[in-house]
């Protein structure tokens, strides 16, 4: 049986793993955009800045997730996992907004 501290640490590191998953999904969106460009499909110039928007949140989220997995200092963990979670949620929201905007722009 895990102690309360071990369970807390596991949950905090799980937030980092979910952040990695969400960032990977965003990278798949980017690859889809590159494949659209390679195929030569006519795409609105408004589309490409939309692809970069979620990266503003995912880059710091992944940075905090890496730090979260590498640190063993219990004093740093609460700050790291909260920042990681906030940036990951913002990145997810921006990715969803990007997807709906791209559907609206490109039809």
How many residues are given for the chain?
Answer: 107
Long-range contacts of 76-83 (CB under 8 A, 24+ apart): 77/9, 77/12, 78/12, 80/12, 81/12, 81/13, 81/15, 81/16
Phi and psi (nearest 5°) for 15? -60, -40
- Rounded CA-CA distance 94/52 in Å is 10
- Rounded CA-CA distance 40/98 in Å is 21
**pTM of the entire predicted model:** 0.86
Q: Which residues span the domain enclosing 91?
A: 4-106
**Series of mean pLDDT values for 10-residue runs along the chain (107 residues):** 79 91 93 84 76 92 93 85 94 91 72
Total of domains in the chain: 1
Provide the pLDDT for residue 20: 96
């Amino acid at each position: 049986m895990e102690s309360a501290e071990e369970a807390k640490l596991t949950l905090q590191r799980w937030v980092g793993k979910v952040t990695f998953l969400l960032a990977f999904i965003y990278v798949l969106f980017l690859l889809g955009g590159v494949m659209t460009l390679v195929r030569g499909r006519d795409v609105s110039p408004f589309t490409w800045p939309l692809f970069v928007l979620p990266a503003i949140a995912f880059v710091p989220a992944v940075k905090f997730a890496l730090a979260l997995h590498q640190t063993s200092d219990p004093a740093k963990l609460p700050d790291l996992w909260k920042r990681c979670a906030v940036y990951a949620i913002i990145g997810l929201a921006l990715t969803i907004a990007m997807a709906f905007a791209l559907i609206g722009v490109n039809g």
